[in-house]
A and B are shown apart, each in its own frame.
Chain A
């Protein structure tokens, strides 16, 4: 099972379950995640959603191995990532990313679209796409909404990665704890959140989504199309080939 769902007292945890690939996002994993998220969205008595990753890393980003040169598959993957982030944002209840190890590229996108993110100081976060000749446009709308356009501009154009501490300073992360406490802190935060009125929380989240234009599907899908176009370019393809060869 690519995404494991567990429930306890109204708190649903969805766990990316591809630890052998550091939960790198392939089409199957993203589809499974989106379906699971949509099930949560259609279950009004779910009070909090926790998104987690099995193994050492939360999510290493898009799984480019074997598919980077296939424009049809890449286009589908980037559209699926866009749809998955839209589904996560549309969930009626608060969402928490519990991030251990790494959240890179699309994985960082999943973290940032959640309302809260818990991680540890030496986690590895960020958007190194431009280093690979790829554009992070697909996840850019969520970052701009999360940390503001000026900071997002610098972060996405500079590429590279940052520590969990730097992620907290930049506003990507809301809670920083010891690595061994990431999961339990996410659960404690969820327990605190369910003491709030579910309708009040849902109404507040919906209003925040309206205010920051999170319901603008088209701009996220435009970002996916731009990222898909860019990854087809020779600039991206040659850099990806070198990376996968370990050059």
Chain B
């Protein structure tokens, strides 16, 4: 008998289709990122166009909005997203670099999409999970949420997240997060500007996130999307070349012998104890 395949992502409609809710639903595996996850995210964002490039001669090319212009990403279980599926990375040598490439594509897709993306983070958002949250326009979280890039211990650089992280936070905060591997609390992430609101009553996070997305859906969609396009230009997160180069930098580390060795040791230590 085959084990039932559970989709790692669940999609639902809210607010007459103005809001698309994308719920990471592989709670038992802490919503880890693997091929199935990235495929499901691609399908979840299907039909949402990309923002056009900023054109000084035509500053408002955002056409009529007939797609969901707010996306709410939340998650089942105690973790928002624990990053890459490390078992898969240990068992298949090419997986880590492929996941980095897919993560770079996903974060770019989110940042450059013609929709306002809200993340609701109830638990750990680590490594790729932190990169996912950072790529969203607005992040709300429970006091129990945790953020960070503890990836140097497995020989992978978080460079893939840096084009957004370094533009979102102060130089001091982005260097601390990207170089130390330290995991920070929701309160610290709020002080840094990585997240934007902490809902003190953790049981109320889900309903607060839904209310929040619904409130965004009442605003002018064209105004929202043109403002996002201009903000991407102002903070240079519309730079596809930088995003691509950063992805390649991380992929380079993920393909290196150092990563295979460190990842193997890390996994063995975790499995033993």
Q: What residues make up the interface of A, taking CB atoms closer than 8 Å to B?
A: 129-137, 140-141, 144, 147-154, 156-159, 218-219, 222-223, 225-226, 229-230, 233, 235-236, 239
Bound-state CA distance A134–B224 (Å) is: 8
B11 within 8 A of A: no
Give every chain B residue within 8 A of A226 (Cβ-Cβ).
59-60, 226, 230
**Contact A233–B222 (Cβ < 8 Å):** yes
Give every chain A residue within 8 A of B226 (Cβ-Cβ).
135, 137, 226, 229-230
Given contacts A144-B231, A154-B137, A154-B138, contact A236 B168 (CB under 8 A): no
**Contact A225–B227 (Cβ < 8 Å):** no
A206–chain B nearest beta-carbon distance, Å:
21
Given contacts A148-B170, A225-B59, A229-B59, contact A130 B196 (CB under 8 A): no
**Contact A235–B59 (Cβ < 8 Å):** no
B104–chain A nearest beta-carbon distance, Å:
19
When C-beta atoms are compared, the residue in chain A nearest to B212 turns out to be A158
Give every chain A residue within 8 A of B224 (Cβ-Cβ).
130, 157
Given contacts A148-B170, A150-B169, A222-B56, contact A130 B227 (CB under 8 A): yes
When C-beta atoms are compared, the residue in chain A nearest to B168 turns out to be A150
**Contact A154–B227 (Cβ < 8 Å):** no
Give every chain B residue within 8 A of A151 (Cβ-Cβ).
193, 196
Give every chain A residue within 8 A of B230 (Cβ-Cβ).
135, 137, 140, 222-223, 226
Give every chain B residue within 8 A of A233 (Cβ-Cβ).
60, 222
**Contact B220–A219 (Cβ < 8 Å):** no
B235 within 8 A of A: yes
Given contacts A130-B223, A236-B220, contact A149 B231 (CB under 8 A): yes
When C-beta atoms are compared, the residue in chain B nearest to A150 turns out to be B168
**Contact B216–A235 (Cβ < 8 Å):** no
Identify B223's interface contact among A141, A154, A225, A236, CB under 8 A.
A236
The CB with the most chain A CB atoms within 10 A, among B138, B167, B222, B228, is that of B222
**Contact B169–A229 (Cβ < 8 Å):** no
A159–chain B nearest beta-carbon distance, Å:
6
When C-beta atoms are compared, the residue in chain B nearest to A132 turns out to be B220
When C-beta atoms are compared, the residue in chain A nearest to B227 turns out to be A135
Bound-state CA distance A157–B224 (Å) is: 6
Top 7 A-B pairs ranked by shortest CB distance? A133-B220, A150-B168, A149-B235, A229-B60, A154-B196, A226-B59, A150-B193
